[in-house]
Amino acid sequence: MAKNIRIKQVRSGSNAIRKQRATLEALGLRHHQAEVVKEDNPAIRGMIRVVAHLVEVEEVD
């Protein structure tokens, strides 16, 4: 079974640069305090790295 990660947006992306706003949108985070659960893979980890200062990440089963 693949591991999943929960991603929660904790800071607004409105003042972020365009690439960061696009990454938040691609992750499915459209609003402040939004949460999504995604499969843990290198592509998602790379996206999280781009917006690490805007989100919190935790592993879930």
Read out DSSP for 30-60? Answer: -STT-EEEEE--HHHHHHHHHTTTTEEEEEE
pLDDT, tens only, 12-38: 999 999 999 999 999 999 999 999 999
pLDDT above 70 for 40: yes
For residue 55, give the nearest of 22, 6, 15 by alpha carbon: 6
Query: Looking at the 3D structure of the chain, how many domains does it have?
Result: 1
Do residues 5 and 60 touch, judged by C-beta distance below 8 A?
Answer: yes
Residues found in the chain: 61
Instruction: Quickly state the pLDDT bin for 2 (edges 50, 70, 90).
Output: confident
User: Which residue reads 């499969």 in tokens?
Assistant: 39
CATH classification at residue 46: 3.30.1390.20
31 is in which domain, residue-wise? 4-60
DSSP annotation of 23: H
